[in-house]
Amino acid sequence: MGCEILEHKIAGFRALTLTNGEYSLIVVPEKGADIISVRDEKSDTEFLWTSPFGLKSRDEVLGKNFIDNYEGGWQECFPTGGPAINYRGAVIGQHGEVHALPWKVVELAQDPNEISVTLEVVTTKTPFRLRKKITMRNHSGMIEIDEWVTNEGSEDLPIIWGHHPALGGNFLDENCKIDTLAARVFSYTLPENAETGQFAQNVSGAWPMLQNKRGELVDVSEIPPASARTADMLFIDGFTDGWISITNRERKVGIAYLFDPKIFTTMWFWQMYGGGTGYPWYGRAYTLALEPFTGIPDPRAADIDAVAGTRTVKARETLHNRLRVLLYHGIKGVGRITPDGVIVPRI
């Protein structure tokens, strides 16, 4: 079986399944170009999490805020990430604009050896155009995501840009471990995590060790079970190479991201290990997200220009980025990943 793109409907939305027979993904262009499924078909492994809400119908979703419509899966966060913020006179909600906008399908390209979908969106509160091309090839576990951000305004503008892939499905459990070459992991406390968080605010450690509230060192690369009942927001930085992976050692399957650490300088590490009390999870969330971002948010900042972790896109500038996703099986961990995507197993 070669590569193909299948068109169908999910909850009233147009959906596109890209598959090469061994791996597949589903993207929903009209729902922020969310990716709602990434699968290893051979091992029957679903990598992405579905929230308790699931994907709401088209009529329920459009025009509403992020968390009320969060089905899990993978979102693009742009031109801001993190809490709602004032953006030079416009209020932009949690995780930016583009997740709440319908994207246009610009091109579908397919032959037995390669498939791609090109998507585009124009923001409404800021003058950005974002184009994204997702490519898969036959007999390959690599998914390439090429993106072009254009500032169509006449002002230099700040952005916090990133990806929010929440892992779960039948992939995530206590047999999972993260591998990466990073220098530091650090915390801050979200108000909704205060009761069940393991870590105090502004705690820093050498990756992967971090001191918890009881003074114990915790290896945060080891994923606990849902019975841990904890919820935290961490950040990872100081990457010597631009890759991070998570492997289920029992199933011998995993997912890795290859990224440019000059663009995505920080990996947000959202942990919901059965914690998270009150709305919206009520203790029902077992997921984590390793989120490549251009910087970190500042929950104390009321204005985008007060956030230290932004990147500037100059007037009329186009910024290109390539994020690659690697799906793999047959190993229990990753020692390193070469720039061309070859995985060297951890011994």
User: Residue 161 above 60 pLDDT?
Assistant: yes
Q: Region 43-52: what's the mean pLDDT?
A: 97
What pLDDT was estimated at residue 298? 84
On the question of pLDDT at 62 being above 60, the answer is no
What is the arithmetic mean of pLDDT over 12-37? 97
Contact 105, 119 (CB under 8 A): yes
- Among positive and negative, which fits the CA dihedral 283, 101, 269, 178? positive
DSSP string, 158-219: EE--EEEEEE-TTT-STTEEEEE--SEEEEE--GGGTTT-SS-TT-EEETTEEE-TTS-EEE
* Nearest Cα to Cα of residue 88 among 303, 245, 241, 299: 303
Sign of CA dihedral 133, 134, 137, 141: positive
Q: Name every residue whose Cβ is closer than 8 Å to that of residue 179 and which is 6 or more positions away in sequence.
A: 221, 244, 245, 246, 247, 333, 334, 335, 346
Q: With 90 as the cut, is the pLDDT of residue 185 above it?
A: yes
Say how many C-beta atoms besides its own lie within 10 A of residue 334's C-beta.
23
193-222 confidence digits (pLDDT tens): 677 899 998 999 999 999 999 999 999 999
Instruction: Look at the block and give the residue holding tokens 């961490």.
Output: 234
Say how far apart CA 255 and CA 21 lie, in whole Å: 17
Per-residue pLDDT tens digits for 217-244? 999 999 999 999 999 999 999 999 999 9
Highest mean pLDDT among 60-69, 99-108, 182-191: 99-108
Tens of pLDDT, residue by residue over 130-148, are: 999 999 999 999 999 999 9
Torsion angles phi and psi, residue 346, rounded to 5: -75, 135
d(CA 296, CA 265): 9
pLDDT at position 189 is 66
Query: How many other β-carbons are positioned within 10 Å of the β-carbon of residue 237?
Result: 17
pLDDT over 60 (residue 63): no
In the chain, domain spans: 7-345
- Residue 286, class by beta-carbon neighbours within 10 Å (0-12 exposed, 13-18 middle, 19+ buried)? buried
Alpha-carbon distance values, 74 to 31, 33, 38, 293 (Å):
11, 9, 9, 14
**Chain mean position to CA 121:** 18
Q: Is the peptide bond before 208 cis (omega within 30 degrees of 0)?
A: yes
The residue type of 314 is K
Identify the pLDDT of residue 170: 98
Q: What is the pLDDT of residues 329-346, one digit of tens each?
A: 999 999 999 999 999 999
pLDDT, tens digit (0-9, with 9 covering 90-100), for 290-339: 999 999 988 888 899 999 889 999 999 999 999 999 999 999 999 999 99
Query: What's the pTM?
Result: 0.96
Domain 7-345 has CATH 1.10.10.10: no
Distances (CA, A) of 248 to 23, 25, 167, 177: 17, 19, 12, 7
Flag the least confident range among 50-64, 86-100, 233-247: 50-64
Q: Is the pLDDT of residue 288 over 80?
A: yes
Determine the pLDDT at residue 192. Answer: 62
